[in-house]
Structure 1
Amino acid sequence: MVVPPPAPVAVARPAYRAPARKKPDANRISPVTFTLLATAPAVLALAALRPR
């Protein structure tokens, strides 16, 4: 004898809330700014010192 499976039951899910963003530290430099500050002088030097 085959017994039918029970009907699926809806599960209540909590409303989605995005996690709060952490405030950046006052004395920390962002990785993007650091990368730009580190690479910009090198790019300018390459442009200025390239052979003509």
Structure 2
Amino acid sequence: MMEDLRCVCDARGCDRTLGEDDLMLRMRTDAGERRAYECACGAVTVTVVR
């Protein structure tokens, strides 16, 4: 279900959808998976998936 959520850059003036091509880092812990995406605008977005 969480995999269906859309990841969007929320930098000022940017609402680009982020996907696998933008995924730079994936880390798994007991608390969930952290994903870091780098947008073409230069912003980095971090998400947590449980």
Higher share of residues assigned helix:
1
The structure showing larger relative contact order (alpha-carbon pairs under 8 Å, at least 6 residues apart) is: 2
| TM-score (ref. length: structure 1) | 0.16
Structure that is richer in strand per residue = 2
Which entry has the higher C-alpha Rg, 1 or 2? 1
